Structure 1
Amino acid sequence: MARRLGRATSRFTEETQTCHKRIPAFAVWLCFCLVFPPAAEAGLYSPSDQIILLNPENVESVLANSTAAIVAEFYASWCGHCVAFSPVYKSLARDIKEWKPAVDLAAIDCAAQQNIKLCSAYSITGYPTLKFFHAYSKADSKGEAYKAFPRDVQGLRHRIIDKLENQEPWPPACPPLEPTSQAEIDSFFETNNVQHLALIFEKASSYIGREVTLDLLQFENVTVRRVLSTEQDLVTKLGVTEFPSCYLYYPKGNFTRLKVNIEARHFYSYALQRLPGVVRSGRPPLVHIDHPTNSTEEPWRPFNRSRVYMADLESTLHYSLRVELAAHSVIRGNALVSLKKYISVLTKYFPGRPVVMNLLRSVDSWLQNQSGGEITYEALRKILDNSAQSPDTALPEGVRWVGCQGSQPHLRRFPCGMWTLFHVLTVQAKSTSPRGTDPKEVLSAMRNYVRSFFGCRPCAEHFENMARESMVEVDSTSSAVLWLWSRHNRVNNRIAGALSEDPNFPKIQWPSPEMCSACHTVRDNREHKWNKEQVLPFLMSYFSSSRILTDYLEDESQVLAKQREAIAAQKHGERRAREALDSVTHLLPSQPTVQEEEEEEEDEGTQDETMADEEEEGGEGAPAADEMGGKTSEPTPWAKPEMELGRGRQRAHNRPSIVGMRMREPQEDIVDLDSFVNQHYKAKALRLAASSRVKQRTLQRKVEQEPGPVFGLGMEMDAGLGMVGLQPVEADFDLDVGRQRKRLQKRELIGQYYVEEAELSHRGRWMSVLSIGFSKVDISLCVILYCLSSMCLVAMYLFFKNRLRLRRAKVSLP
């Protein structure tokens, strides 16, 4: 047995040593995985880039038999040229987003282990490789490779158009891209039911007409046709002198020139998409809100689209702090750090009203004083509701959307408010923060809040991807303002046309040319370019605190009044619950045993005789009391021994200390509600309990009590509440000498009883601790059993010791 145990111990030691050797290797492997994540996670693109991510499971469904043409990039995540090309490919995806029904972009990481065979099947030998797959390509098609493809968005866009024009079969969603003629225009409205026909006049080498045609692919009630400068009939009829230029052609030969700031693709597309009656395919037409109500439950509030409203900012704070945070019952760890930074940034830069700023400062101070690693939302909610009733401190309850209201209850609102809030904070940080301030302070707070608390988790993931990708480039407060603006436009581009887009407020690249014409310009190649030197002043002006409108705001006095009413209602509810609990507790009288009742009756008789003696002897030993209140400054002498000994008898606090004073009835007109409830209802409950106990004693009494002073019914219970002193009903009564001696003897016996009880309790304290309620017989049995068990153990020890000695002796024999 010993040898077996020895082998087991040895094997366990070897396994332990092996585990210790494996721990460093595992730590190195874990660090390697963190620094170099798996290829599937280390790809250059994500779903938020509007690029289809190919893998062995979906490659066939995407590339084969598709109704749209597909441009696919085959790359390796470790390839430096692929990394450099990825921003261009992402920009291309955003640029041709409206072309999706006709052409879409895809990408596959050939460095991923699961994609190696797939890339080999498509004959990929170098990275990056672009391939064009025609619509309805066969399953075994390997695509057409772009040779020496350009590394800029415009060049790639033109190569895609060339492939579209030369492919067969034609994608069903793709509009015609060839030039039109005079004859087709004359009969156009006879065969087409559209509201607007846009003619783009350009030279043969220009791509603007075809690009705008594809830009309007997802819109109804408008058609774009390309007209070459060599089409003399139309050029002469419309009087075209500039190329490119755009004209709107209507039935009966009516036409007008489209007014744009710059004759370029971006300006044409934007202006045509905003024509009356032009909507996205499959979306309801625009609702012209000229009436006082909309489809939401709230009345429509007319507003200026070029201004920011404080009502939106306060509504955003309410929803953020009282709705989104409420989803987290306990906030701990990184989430708590994010909350502290979020509130700190709001306290520093939010341009709110004094009452709101007082509340934010109160919340920030409370959070900074929390030293623990977690908080409960209930505790935070009390600070938000100003339960301490600090003066001029409140955050309005509820939401009141103005500039962020939508045509439907599920459109815009809180997401719009969040973007507006953080734009305002970045502008305020640039305007008010001193030099040396962290330029990413607001952006980091926004990023952490979205990551920890924003309810739309896919939205939070997309924002985190954008922040991880480029927020490191922010090095000043000006760049922080522009970074947030550019990422907001990127999000607008991604969700344009989605179900979350409000048709009355389409997602555009903001600001529009009408709002800030100087913000838009073009490069030498006629590509659109943002003039950031003009965008920054526009943002600083648009989100400036001095231009925020206070329309539709609830008055501060009304906000404070509602807060007081809410707190009062809450306290009233708590008080009612407490009163109900107290009344139930006090209305349940304890049922004394017959022996306790007889002892209490004897004590009451002794008490009556003793008090009568003291009254006859001049009240010796009774302290003076206030005649109006009937209160004493110290306990009565006979009550002191019982309190010191801690006997725990309920009758100790029921004995009055002074005789001869009539008890004052409880006041019913007390102003303090708490004391009124505690005294009024408690007194009634105690009186009811006392009456029930008196009735029980009357029924169970065996010997009629001797005549004596009769007291009021509520004496004992009221005396327990601190109201001492009663007026006897019969004031004039005489006692004979025998009865007086009897009382004196009883008093002496009571004194001796208290002294003896104190001595016995002192001597029996240790015995009660040791015995814990057991009798002497029980203790004796325990001692005997303990001795027997000890003797048995000794006998067993000697027996096995002898057996072991004999066995060893036998083994040693030759």
Structure 2
Amino acid sequence: MLLRWLLASACLCLIRIAGADSLYEPSDPILQLELDTFDAAVYNSKKAHFVEFYSSWCGACIGYAPTYKQFAKQIASWKPFVEVVAVNCADDKNMPLCRDHSISGFPTVKYFKPRSTSKNDGVVYRGNKYELDKVERDIATFVHDDYKQMNHELLPMFEPVDNSKTLADMWNTAGPANFLGVMVQENPASIAWALAMNFHNDRNIRVVLARPQHPEVSKQLGHDANNRFMLFHRGESTPVWTSPSDAKWTDIHDKVMEFVTHVAAPPKGEKTPAVEPQAPAPAAEIDMSQYRVELADMKSTISYMLFQEIARQQVVEGEDLAGLKSWIHAVSKYAPTTTPIRRLLYRMDQWLQNQGPSMSYEDWTRKLEEVHTDLGNPLPREIEWVACKGSKPHFRGYTCGVWVLAHAMAAEAYKQEANNATFKPVEEFLDPFYHFVVKFLSCEWCAKNFRKEAVNFKMKEVATREQLVMWLWRVHNFVNKRLSGYHSDDPKFPKRQFPPPVLCSQCYTPDGAFDEEEVLKFLVRYFSDIRQDSVQAPPEYKVNEYKDGKLQAVGARHLNPKFAVHAEKVSNLEEAEERLRKEIDASPQRQWRDIEGYENLSTSGRTQFYFIWLMVIGIVIVFAYCKYRRNRSKFWKTFYYHNDFKLCPWSSDSTGRKYAA
């Protein structure tokens, strides 16, 4: 048992989840950290850190990546104050880091103050992370508040000028700068703080904060002064530019840069050159490989779900634990996969049902590793996609696999529950799937949208197995339509309505609408035909479908061996193995083998084993010594006549001088 545990631990050290490429390039002004670099970079640092925890397969993270890149570029000049950071939680080695920071969904953004010392100093940013102007002003406020609490040496740059200071006094603090910016704002003066950090190292401009009551402000702007910015050029008493009161800090920044860098805006009357119209690009040919139902994809999906998604939670309890129990039970019952994987799911289901009221990730991982090793590691630990493989590592992948698994399970439930009049699709399938997506699918945006779709498509009203299959199909097509053209949409495999006519022409009516009766037949048949050999294509043959003597469709069928998913119930296999194990353990032969196999003995058993062998060796030595003593007087006589010596006594035939054997 100890040897098995050591081997399993050694194998785990070599495991690495593939396909965890970053969404960010080295050229982006974003510091990319990992488990072994995070603590040294973030903790005990003089600057604050704004950290995005993301997953490279998550559609919401893919969609947010351009926004986060733009955000990092806009505050690149704030680097002495704030570092923009990203951590890819899809990388297996970063999972402990993301779990320690209680990342329950992606993308999650946290702010770490200067001189942070532990994960407890990280604060989740609750604002709208897509509204960059607000995010940047919030960060400026965080930095100001932290500097004030720390009494930081740079705190004076955030403080307003005294009302007694004149414009000349302000210029005296500007050094050799040619421009002076005065931001008029009451607390919280987030725009002024953002501009102060942005131009801190710019020798050509000095930015100060003033209150609306300042005499110089009243002189220049009157009573309508709050949230306005004045830009002065050296030697001039009136501003060269004044901002409107509703200007964003980035608008002010861009206008200031025009003056500071002497880059003027283009004349209003200048016309942009005409652009010749381009011919529309030809429609891309559909790659049919994306529609195959592959066993390898479902195995990778189940593996990632068990080893990553569920294990990501520090503690699972209450409704979350109840939802997890129902989902694992549904997967163990309906997932069309190999017998060893079904046995693994069955054992995890049996174990999980007895857990409560809470379960830690250590308990889950320990049991999962134990069962996985005992069954010969039936799940792949290096995640690879076949039909769900995208043109880039962050496209498709896991979310594609989740949909394929759900459709295949629905088709299996449709067949398995054909004669079950008490089958309740919501309680036994859709509710568990809903809880898994909402609570354990780490794509926070996906979970939020699925909540809406469950309500809009009336999930609770599904009453039959036919409605179960069709409900998933409708929702999936709606999601494909919503995400078509979005950042997460793979340009090589654009999202389309399923099934396309080339895959099922009979699924469409003459006017182009779906024939739902034919769609149902197609879905059950299609998601039951699972390819097992992803390396070499199995032999296939063509099938022509006719209606009223006319050819309707041409399809391909594979000669790969069928699963017979529930040809033999996993529960029967498990019960038979348990009976056999008990019989072997109780047999005398098994007990004798345990004694012989001293490597498997306990310390006391080994002591007894060694003692018995020492006794045997001692008896042999005593016997040999006694024989020697008995024949010692005859030694020289034997040596003289025969030049031979034997321990056996002389025979009774003394004349022949023969020895007894």
Higher RCO (CA 8 Å, separation ≥ 6 residues): 2
Q: Same fold (TM over 0.5)?
A: no
Aligning the two structures, in what range does the TM-score lie when normalised by the shorter sequence? Answer: 0.3 to 0.5
TM-score where L is the length of structure 2: 0.39
**Structure with bigger gyration radius:** 1
TM-score where L is the length of structure 1: 0.32
